[in-house]
């Protein structure tokens, strides 16, 4: 059986993967979300309240958390999509702060002290959820909707000329992202049996956006890489530090390596580690043209 | 009321955005570095840099470190801005890179000095003026006065000197400016130096006023300063001061009316509203950086 | 419907600069119309107005029997208007097949898998018609210029348009590619699609087109047959110094 330490790490990885995809879907459409914490908190508090205050089964609570976050994402997308570029980044950030502020002031949810829940979601829930999210998003990006998203990202007006509905596609992408974020939140609160606004705030949103962009938003594998790097590399450093006291600084600075990686990547390979061309090349040598099966 | 400290940081943000179209998330880290280095040097002890210098020298060192760090950002973040046609997220490069640097600096500080708050005592305890029911902390007033005069100087430079014209030309269009003979390579770092200076002064003032420093002390000031910047209009340095005062006012009113926990909502709710309805802010003219980061 | 496209008294100004000045012309259904004129005459702007990227300041545009003057951009393809661009505007990070499949996006359901065998087959067939492959394992940004240009044309064709606007489709193509393109466009026209082509390549225009509209400084200065355009005084004046036209004038 897996040791407690590793099951904790795997659990964190699963949650980070889910949250990564919540930022990936809008990012693939060109919308940067610096407020993912907002949707995660919404999902967490809703799901947590459902199991602890209303005694719902975990699955139902997770679903409700996801739907709530998705609904809020849908509603907020309309004003937020009126902003562009840096203003949109700030608007998503502001949104997350407003969510945090509102949740802080609901006494039934514990206020600043946070919400504790009894129901537990261990690996048997987390891993299938993460896998399901990856599969679902991979399928989504393979549909014409996914094509719309990627077309928008590359060239908005030409996409429009071929019938892609700019606003509708953006709203859908944002909503799907919010719903996935809500699921991530529901998983988070039931993995740690606790959620509070403090720990899932601005820094959380920043980390998520960074590791999604680090992984790359051109393909569906990017966020997987990003979440894995972010979860495992600092842990590797922590383990290394345990080997000898001289390496103690490695533990304290283990997130520094993540920051440095981000800076280097933005300088040298801004499209992220996993790009479309990389995936194409890895999936086999150049096939002869017009042979049998599809290539995309 | 954080008054001058907030104003300094807000002006640093708005200057960088107005001049360079760059939302620089490293500014709170520079703020923190100056504060922490000043603390570390001024207190003799086993910690990193615990040399026990006189606070004035420690402060100078703090400023120098912050400015150097700022130039580091210029070299490795801003210079790699490569706007490409049609791809919305690629304009975010400098912003994302600055976030990376923020993480590096915060965790560097944590690695060097630990995450716990450290006490920072200046020989001059804060004296207060009492006007009726209101308390004005003298350091706060001094910092506000400093901020206003600094902005007046900056504003004068921008409007009346050749340097200022060059800066404004670069803000309009860096490529054309180079063609017209503006030494972009030399002037852009200057903006980073000023931003670093402002952040550093703010950080030291903050540390002196509140008596504590931590590696994450930049975070809360950053969010208020960004709010102030947007309210005042991106790129508008007087607006940043006005925005800062407004943010402070909104917070105080909200706290006195509803209690401390509500404070996020009016500030960020107002910000969200402004971004959606009037991105130019209360005093801005054109929404600068509409498509850029 | 006699005309696939009717532009009536259309004007467009940017700031203080009038780019299109009360332009009116008709494009007969099934014709292959050339839209020519010196650089800066407003040809691309006109295309942008017809496809909806810009909106007209004044005037009317009727395409394929519908008044599209106020129709939003994303709805115009539904009317049957597709176009290609002067500077290549493919989606750089998508594959050839995906770019081409964007053409039939507007009449495909959102949940349809892009990698479905039937969709891929259709795309591949269309590419083969144009003498191209599906270039698997590459994104279009990596392909040669001449190939990208023709992929754009195929993309527009996939939309099953009634009216195709082609902005300098032959620019940058070598003579072999130009010949293939002309043959393809001939077949497309024979199948009933109306073509409007902006081109500077006069021999290309001469061999393909049966109707010509000439713009200069945002105004229409000629509309008629290719035989007559070479003799028209206003056109000659506009093109003064252009070797092709002078040569044609001498040959006529």
At C137-161, the pLDDT tens digits run 888 988 999 899 999 999 999 999 9
Whether residues C74 and C191 share a domain: the answer is yes
- Cα distances from B114 to residues A94, B61, B109, B215, in angstroms, run 30, 20, 7, 8
Domains, chain B: 3-122+129-277 (1.10.3470)
Q: Are strands C211-216 and C219-224 parallel, antiparallel or unpaired?
A: antiparallel
Q: How far apart are alpha carbons C67 and C168 in whole angstroms? A: 26
Q: Which residues, in sequence order, are CB contacts of A204 under 8 Å at separation 6+?
A: A36, A37, A40
The domain boundary, picked from C105, C131, C160, lies at C160
The domain boundary, picked from C115, C145, C160, lies at C160
Q: Do C93 and A146 touch (CB under 8 A)?
A: no
Q: Which of B213, B216, B194 is nearest to B35 (CA)?
A: B213
Q: Are strands C66-67 and B118-119 parallel, antiparallel or unpaired?
A: unpaired
DSSP E strand stretches across B77-124: 118-119
Tally of CA atoms within 13 A in the half-sphere of A84 that contains its CB? 12
Q: Does B271 touch chain A (CB under 8 A)?
A: yes
Q: How far apart are alpha carbons C22 and C196 in whole angstroms? A: 19
Interface residue of A27, A30, A139, A147 to substitute, partner C, most C CBs within 10 Å: A147
Q: Which of A151, A165, A166 sits opposite C102 (nearest CB)?
A: A151
Whether residues C180 and C72 share a domain: the answer is yes
The range of the structural domain enclosing residue A95 comes to 4-201
Q: Does A148 touch chain C (CB under 8 A)?
A: yes
Q: Is residue A243 part of a domain?
A: no
Provide mean pLDDT across the span C26-54.
91
A-C contacts (CB, under 8 Å):
126
pLDDT in tens, C62-75: 999 999 999 998 88
Whether residues C73 and C193 share a domain: the answer is yes
- For residues B49 and C191, the model is more confident at C191
Q: Is residue C85 part of a domain?
A: no
Whether residues C180 and C60 share a domain: the answer is yes
The domain boundary, picked from C106, C139, C160, lies at C160
Whether residues C184 and C154 share a domain: the answer is no
**pLDDT given at position B138:** 65
A-B contacts (CB, under 8 Å):
162
C:50-69 residues touching chain A, CB 8 A cutoff: 51-53
**pLDDT given at position B88:** 45
CB-CB contact of B51 with B41 (8 Å) = yes
Whether residues C192 and C216 share a domain: the answer is yes
User: How many domains in chain C?
Assistant: 2
Q: Is residue C57 part of a domain?
A: yes
Inter-axis angle of helices B27-42 and B55-76, to 10 degrees? 150
Q: Are strands C32-36 and C3-14 parallel, antiparallel or unpaired?
A: unpaired
Q: Is residue C222 part of a domain?
A: yes
Q: Which of B149, B166, B170 is nearest to B241 (CA)?
A: B149
Q: What is the pLDDT along chain B (293 residues), one digit of tens a residue?
A: 466 788 889 999 988 888 777 889 999 999 999 999 998 888 878 878 778 888 788 889 999 999 999 999 888 877 756 444 334 455 678 888 899 999 999 999 988 888 888 887 766 555 555 555 555 566 667 777 777 787 788 888 777 887 777 777 776 666 666 666 667 677 788 889 999 999 999 998 888 878 888 998 888 888 889 888 988 888 788 888 888 888 888 887 877 777 666 667 888 888 888 888 877 766 665 544 433 33
**DSSP secondary structure code for residue A113 in this structure:** G
The range of the structural domain enclosing residue C134 comes to 92-160
- CATH code at position C9: 3.40.50.300
Tell me the pLDDT band of A1, cut-offs 50, 70 and 90. low
**pLDDT given at position A72:** 96
Q: How far apart are alpha carbons C179 and C157 in whole angstroms? A: 18
Q: Do C134 and A289 touch (CB under 8 A)?
A: yes
Q: Is residue A268 part of a domain?
A: no
Q: Is residue A255 part of a domain?
A: no
Q: How far apart are alpha carbons B96 and A2 in whole angstroms? A: 36
Q: Which of A289-293, B190-194, C111-115, C198-202 has the lowest mean pLDDT?
A: A289-293
Q: Which of A108-112, A214-218, B163-167 has the lowest mean pLDDT?
A: B163-167
Tell me the pLDDT band of C247, cut-offs 50, 70 and 90. low
**pLDDT given at position B250:** 82
Q: Is residue C186 part of a domain?
A: yes
């Amino acid at each position: 059986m897996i040791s407690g330490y590793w099951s904790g790490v795997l659990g964190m990885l699963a949650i980070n993967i889910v949250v990564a995809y919540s930022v990936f879907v809008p990012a693939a459409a060109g919308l940067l979300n610096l407020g993912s914490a907002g949707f995660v908190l919404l999902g967490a508090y809703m799901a947590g309240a459902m199991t602890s205050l209303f005694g719902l089964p975990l699955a139902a609570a997770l679903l409700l958390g996801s739907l709530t976050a998705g609904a809020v994402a849908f509603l907020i997308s309309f004003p937020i999509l009126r902003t562009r570029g840096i203003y949109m980044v700030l608007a998503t950030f502001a949104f997350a702060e407003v969510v945090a502020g509102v949740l802080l002031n609901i006494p039934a949810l514990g206020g600043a002290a946070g919400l504790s829940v009894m129901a537990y979601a261990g690996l048997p829930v987390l891993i299938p959820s993460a896998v399901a999210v990856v599969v679902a998003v991979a399928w989504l990006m393979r549909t014409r909707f996914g094509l719309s998203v990627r077309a928008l990202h590359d060239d908005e007006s030409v996409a429009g000329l071929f019938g892609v509905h700019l606003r509708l596609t953006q709203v859908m992408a944002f909503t799907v992202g919010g719903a996935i974020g809500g699921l991530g939140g529901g998983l988070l609160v039931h993995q740690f049996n606790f959620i509070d606004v403090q720990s899932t705030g601005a820094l959380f949103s920043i980390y998520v956006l960074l590791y999604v962009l680090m992984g790359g938003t051109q393909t569906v594998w990017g966020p997987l890489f990003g979440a894995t790097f972010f979860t495992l590399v600092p842990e590797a450093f922590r383990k290394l530090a345990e080997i000898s006291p001289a390496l103690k600084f490695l533990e304290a600075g283990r997130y520094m390596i993540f920051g440095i990686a981000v800076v280097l990547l933005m300088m040298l390979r801004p499209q992220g580690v996993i790009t479309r061309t990389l995936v194409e090349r890895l999936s086999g040598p150049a096939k002869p043209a017009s042979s049998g099966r599809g290539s995309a | 009321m954080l008054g001058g400290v907030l104003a300094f940081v807000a002006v640093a943000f708005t200057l960088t955005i107005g001049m360079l179209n760059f939302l620089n998330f490293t500014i709170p880290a520079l703020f923190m570095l100056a504060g922490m280095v000043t603390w570390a040097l001024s207190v003799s002890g086993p910690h990193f840099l615990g040399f026990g210098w006189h606070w004035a020298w420690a402060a100078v060192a703090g400023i120098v470190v912050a400015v150097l760090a700022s130039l580091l950002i210029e070299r490795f973040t801003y210079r790699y801005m490569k706007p490409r046609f049609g791809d919305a997220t690629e304009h975010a490069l400098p912003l994302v890179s600055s976030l990376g640097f923020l993480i590096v600096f915060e965790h560097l500080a944590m690695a060097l000095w630990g995450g716990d708050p450290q006490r920072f005592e200046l020989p001059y305890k804060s004296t207060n003026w009492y006007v009726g029911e209101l308390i004005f902390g003298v350091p706060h007033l001094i910092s506000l006065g400093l901020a206003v005069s600094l902005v007046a100087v900056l504003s004068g430079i921008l409007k009346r000197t050749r340097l200022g014209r060059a800066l404004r030309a670069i803000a309009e269009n860096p490529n054309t400016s180079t063609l017209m003979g503006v030494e972009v390579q030399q002037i852009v770092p200057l903006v980073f130096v000023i931003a670093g200076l402002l952040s550093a002064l703010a950080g030291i003032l903050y540390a002196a006023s509140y008596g504590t420093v931590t590696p994450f002390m930049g975070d809360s000031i950053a969010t208020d300063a960004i709010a102030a910047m947007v309210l005042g209009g991106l790129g508008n340095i007087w607006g940043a001061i006005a925005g800062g005062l407004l943010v402070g006012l909104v917070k105080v009113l909200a706290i006195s009316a509803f209690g401390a926990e509500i404070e996020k909502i009016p500030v960020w709710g107002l910000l969200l509203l402004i971004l959606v309805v009037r991105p130019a802010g209360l005093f801005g003219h054109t929404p600068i950086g509409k498509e850029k980061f | 419907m006699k005309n696939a496209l009717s532009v009536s008294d259309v004007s467009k100004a940017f700031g203080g600069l009038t780019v299109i000045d009360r332009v009116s012309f008709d494009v007969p259904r099934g014709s292959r119309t050339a839209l020519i004129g010196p650089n800066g005459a407003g040809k691309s702007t006109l295309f942008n107005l017809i496809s909806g990227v810009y909106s007209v300041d004044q005037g009317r545009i009727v395409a394929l029997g519908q008044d599209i003057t106020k129709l939003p951009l994303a709805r115009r393809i539904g009317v049957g208007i597709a176009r290609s661009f002067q500077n290549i505007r493919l989606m750089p990070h998508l594959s050839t097949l995906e770019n081409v499949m964007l053409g039939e996006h507007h009449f495909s359901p959102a949940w349809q898998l892009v990698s479905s065998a039937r969709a891929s087959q259709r795309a591949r067939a269309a590419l083969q018609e144009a003498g191209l492959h599906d270039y698997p394992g590459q994104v279009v940004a990596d392909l040669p210029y001449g190939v990208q240009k023709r992929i754009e044309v195929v993309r527009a064709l996939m939309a099953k348009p009634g009216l195709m606007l082609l902005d300098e489709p032959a620019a940058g193509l070598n003579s072999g590619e130009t010949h293939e393109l002309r043959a393809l466009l001939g077949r497309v026209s024979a199948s009933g699609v109306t073509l409007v082509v902006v081109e500077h390549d006069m021999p290309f225009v001469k061999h393909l087109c049966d109707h010509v509209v000439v713009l200069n400084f945002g105004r229409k200065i000629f509309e008629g047959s290719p035989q007559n355009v070479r003799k028209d005084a206003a056109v000659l004046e506009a093109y003064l110094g252009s070797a092709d036209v002078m040569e044609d004038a001498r040959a006529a």
